[in-house]
Amino acid sequence: MAVTYVLIGLTSAISLAALYVDQRILNTGMLIPYRVINQQSWYELLTAGFLHANFGHLAVNMFVLFFFGIVLEQNLGSAQFASLYISGLLVSSLPSMLNHREDPQFATLGASGGVESVLFGFIFLYPTESIYFILLPIPIPAWIFGLAFLAYSVYESKKGRGNINHEAHIAGAIWGVLYLLFFVPNSLDHILTVMGLL
């Protein structure tokens, strides 16, 4: 069975259990940097990625993971794909840990960091492929979408509005590219070939 399906099934099961069966799962597993530092609950860097704030949050992340994860897993292989995703969850937690370690009120959760690593891994390997929005069915080259997404995330992160952890999105996206460059053989040659530089 594809790792993508396993991750979607596991994340959905844990998130739904936390939302609708036992909220203690949510309270224990979400990432609270202050608690991690003071109680040494480092597991939160990982468990927060299997929890979501509501059903819509879960559905969007799993939708993106499904469509881009299947293709990327076929290309990288299951072991590399799983490593990319899990490391993406961990790396994307680092900005929150650094910036909110002294704030006992700050909490974050969601698979977005790992999902962004997968999405940007796809964009790196297939920069000229088209990405479509459901509400705006116009083909957008993947590399343009990636740049626009990062610009928007940086802008919103500086504004500090809402409950979306844009820092995790940015870190996850950057990690998706770095992971392929450092840990997947021939990735640099591949992108240079796609760009017509080799």
- Domains defined for the chain, CATH in brackets: 3-194 (1.20.1540.10)
Global pTM reads 0.92
Q: What is the pLDDT of residue 137?
A: 76
Q: Which residues of the chain have pLDDT under 50?
A: none
CA atoms within 13 A on the CB side of 44: 25
The set of residues, in sequence order, having a beta carbon less than 8 Å from that of 50 and lying 6+ positions away, is 10, 11, 14, 15, 29, 111
Question: 150-179, pLDDT tens digit by residue?
Answer: 998 988 888 766 677 889 999 999 999 999
Structure tokens at 5: 């399906």
